[in-house]
Amino acid sequence: MSETTPLNRRDFLRDSFGGGSALGGLLGLGLNLRAAQHEASRFKFASTREVPSVCPYCAVGCGQLVSVREGKIVNIEGNPESPINQGTLCPKGAATYQLAVNPNRVTHVWYRAPGATEWVKTKTLDWAMNRIAELTQKTRDATFSEWWETTDASGKPIKKKVNHTLAIASLGGATNDNEWNYVQCKLMRGLGVVFIENQARI
């Protein structure tokens, strides 16, 4: 009779399946999937550094853990310590890894000048930020009004102090969270912009 060594769950995963691909086999054997998943992920994230982050996709702001190995992102998943999502992610958030690590990702700013038919695809983010700032200032300076001329209830002409521009609008997207929108509103109101829309309704 041969001697057998007791096999714990971790040894079983490592020896039989190599860790990461074990789950299908475990299902067939009727083992506890949650425990197996936990063990498999321990192998998957060996030698990684975990960086807490926030899902970039919507205003819910679910917490994420970004696993980094040798300066490269190797995985992104829900952060169990986040009070918002407690480790869960919706399908979009669960695909965040593909947003960061993807050969199809656009890494330069595309610019099509007024009247041009082709995109210039080599501009940098710094260039784009400077261009936006330049056009914002130019538009504001050219359209800023200190006074609004109107009439009162009796039809008498009056002037109201407004300090605004009606030539710029700020349109927020679904990915802007409360904090972003707060700062964006501060900036816009400081510039005198009155057309402000965002998902946070502030």
* Interatomic CA distance for residues 22 and 192, integer angstroms: 59
First to last CA, the chain: 76
Q: Check binding of 62 to ligand SF4 (CB under 6 A).
A: yes
Q: How far is the CB of 171 from ligand SF4 (least distance, A)?
A: 19
Q: How far is the CB of 1 from ligand SF4 (least distance, A)?
A: 54
Task: Give the SS3 label for residue 83.
Answer: coil
Judged by CB under 6 A, the number of residues near ligand SF4 is: 11
Residue 62 in tokens: 């679910």
38 vs 92, beta carbon nearer ligand SF4: 92
Q: Check binding of 188 to ligand SF4 (CB under 6 A).
A: no
Angle (CA) 111 116 118, round 5°:
65
Q: How far is the CB of 59 from ligand SF4 (least distance, A)?
A: 7
- Strand spans (E) along the chain: 49-54, 63-69, 72-78, 109-111, 120-123, 145-151, 157-171, 193-197
Q: Check binding of 61 to ligand SF4 (CB under 6 A).
A: yes
Span interacting with ligand SF4, options 38-46, 85-93, 100-108, 143-151, rule CB under 6 A: 85-93
Got the DSSP string for 119-159? -EEEE-HHHHHHHHHHHHHHHHHHH-EEEEEEE-TTS-EEE
Long-range CB contact pairs, 12-15, < 8 A, 24+: 13/39, 13/40, 13/43, 14/43
Q: Which of 23, 31, 73, 90 binds ligand SF4 (CB under 6 A)?
A: 90
Span interacting with ligand SF4, options 87-95, 106-114, 160-168, 179-187, rule CB under 6 A: 87-95
Residue 194 in tokens: 């009155």
Q: Check binding of 66 to ligand SF4 (CB under 6 A).
A: no
* Interatomic CA distance for residues 33 and 53, integer angstroms: 27
Q: Check binding of 57 to ligand SF4 (CB under 6 A).
A: yes
Q: Check binding of 93 to ligand SF4 (CB under 6 A).
A: yes
101 vs 129, beta carbon nearer ligand SF4: 101
25 vs 87, beta carbon nearer ligand SF4: 87
Q: Check binding of 92 to ligand SF4 (CB under 6 A).
A: yes
Binding site for ligand SF4 (CB under 6 A): 55, 57-58, 60-62, 85, 89-90, 92-93
